[in-house]
Amino acid sequence: MRIVKNIWDQFKEYFVLVFLLLISVLFISRSDHPSVKNLKTTTFGTFAFVTSFFSDVLPSTGLKSENTKLREQNAKLMLEVNKLREYGIENVELKNLLSMKDTVSYKLISARVISKSFSSDQTTFTLDRGKEEGIKAGMAVVTGEGLVGIVERSSKDFSLIRTLKHLNFRVVVKDQRSRFQGILHWTGSQLIISNLPKTSEIKLGDRIITSEISSFIGQPFPIGIVKKIINPDEGYFNNVLIKPFVEIEKVDNVFIVAVIPQKIKNSVELNYYNSEHR
Amino acid sequence: MKFEKILPIVYFIPVLLVQVLIVPYFELNGIVPDLILILVVYYTLKYGQLYGIVLGFILGGILDFSTGSILGSSMFTKTLSAFIAGYFYHENLVTSVIKSPQFLGAVFLASIVNAISFSLITNFDISLNIFSLLFEQGLLPAIYTTILAGIIVVLSPKRSYS
């Protein structure tokens, strides 16, 4: 007994460290469990409530209402311009077709960023709008410049946004000129489209937008431009570095695109956000 | 004495509010100083390694729940960082932790461990560049956090508690 006590006295810091690290690893492995997510939504909503109270007293710009209107108009114009660009390119490609249906209607919900959590791997924002305004997980979040991220979860009055600079953010994108598609993701330091075939005709400066085949962002939102093409000597694939249009760190006001879900598509595709609510 | 040991959990809320509301205004290329880590290191140097480990675990847990990061990631990194900072603990220095030369060294080393372990947990990739891991994701956030800790040291009152 004395030996055990001696060992404990001598190494208790190590025992406690290992024990707590194991618990942490257990939490990491259970991070996506529905019950854990519900608990996180509750605690996040509570903290966001406190944050919103204090964020109101921080320096705010004047002419708030006019600014909000102008930003909304700007965001709508951005979406319209992008849609028109798409139609222009599609018209060339599909000139033999008689017409195309416009199946997309954008409803924009304005929101303010009330807190930001920065890290090189997981940048998240908290918005002052939630389920009360019809915001649901998976909805796209944009500014006048382009896509900011997606709604990760929402409580009654607040939403948590997974930005482009989040390791778990992945979206199907395409080169607006060459139409090549790939999966965009954040590496911790760069926004990258990886494993594009070397035969893809992507050029520096090409505009990258979200692809219609994405299971949760089915509209063409601007992402950024091609900054660098990494062409390794070996293998069959290139990596493409993207410079985002939106400066994520400087975003203060955003719009949530409340798009009617594409039921047929969602029922066919494996949708991460549907499985979340099962 | 017991109440004093609960104080960092009380201080945690205002510090977290500053972290998410004010610190983002000072971001440099997406890098921000970590106030929560400074708090953990401070109390680790004040009360010892074991206390710091438990405190890092608790504060990391609350941080994960409040900010939407991967649950367990901050728990893990803050616990490990406190363990490292604990090696700077010296009983004779407990009355003037913030003015001690150990404070900035502990913050710097704990910051590196915190940033690198966080990157490894959340972004483990077999092709991970060691230079990027050490420099971009480890050293730069650590330097920024240490600079902020240095400013706190300079601005803190000079009175002695001993």
DSSP-derived secondary structure for B12-38: HHHHHHHHHHTGGGG-BTTB---HHHH
What value does the mean pLDDT of chain A take?
79
The answer to whether the beta carbons of residues A216 and A138 sit under 8 Å apart is yes
Least confident of A42-46, A51-55, B132-136: B132-136
* ipTM of model: 0.87
Q: In this complex, do B68 and A50 lie within 8 Å of one another by their Cβ atoms? A: no
pLDDT at A242: 93
Identify whether B162 is part of a domain. Answer: no
Query: A13-20: long-range contacts (C-beta < 8 A, 24 or more apart)?
Result: A13/B49, A13/B50, A13/B53, A13/B83, A13/B86, A16/B50, A16/B53, A16/B54, A17/B53, A17/B79, A17/B80, A17/B83, A20/B53, A20/B54, A20/B57, A20/B75, A20/B79
Identify whether B160 is part of a domain. Answer: no
Nearest C-alpha of chain B: how many angstroms from A123?
Answer: 8
Asked if residue A20 and residue A151 are part of one domain, the reply reads: no
Identify whether B161 is part of a domain. Answer: no
Nearest to B75 among A24, A54, A187 (CB): A24
Among A52-56, A118-122, A216-220, B88-92, the range with the most confident prediction by mean pLDDT is: B88-92
Give the containing element (helix H, strand E) for A227. Answer: strand A222-230
Identify whether B49 is part of a domain. Answer: yes
Of B143, B89, B17, nearest in space to A54 by CA: B17
Identify whether B121 is part of a domain. Answer: yes
Asked if residue A155 and residue A72 are part of one domain, the reply reads: yes
Identify whether A14 is part of a domain. Answer: yes
Domain count, chain B: 1
Which residue in chain A has the smallest CA separation from B50?
A13
Identify whether B92 is part of a domain. Answer: yes
Q: In this complex, do A189 and B75 lie within 8 Å of one another by their Cβ atoms? A: no
| pLDDT category of residue A267 using cuts at 50, 70 and 90 | low
Cβ contacts from A onto B, under 8 A: 138
* Per-residue tokens: A127: 């918005």
Which residue in chain A has the smallest CA separation from B121?
A28
Asked if residue A205 and residue A74 are part of one domain, the reply reads: yes
Domain that residue B109 falls in: 2-23+31-155
Identify whether A37 is part of a domain. Answer: yes
Nearest to B17 among A26, A51, A153 (CB): A51
Residue from B21, B67, B124 to probe the interface with A (highest A Cβ count within 10 Å)? B67
Asked if residue A235 and residue A192 are part of one domain, the reply reads: yes
Residues of chain B positioned with their CB less than 8 A from the CB of A13: 49-50, 53, 83, 86
Distances B106 to A16, A263, B134 between C-alpha atoms, Å: 20, 54, 17
- Sequence-distant (6+) residues with CB within 8 A of B120 are B133
Domain that residue A103 falls in: 66-278
> Does residue B88 or residue B134 have the better pLDDT?
B88
Per-residue pLDDT reduced to its tens digit, A160-196? 999 998 888 888 899 988 888 889 988 877 899 987 8
Residues of chain B positioned with their CB less than 8 A from the CB of A248: 30
Asked if residue A158 and residue A103 are part of one domain, the reply reads: yes
Does residue A19 register a pLDDT over 80?
yes
CATH code of the domain in which B119 resides: 1.10.1760.20
Identify whether A60 is part of a domain. Answer: no
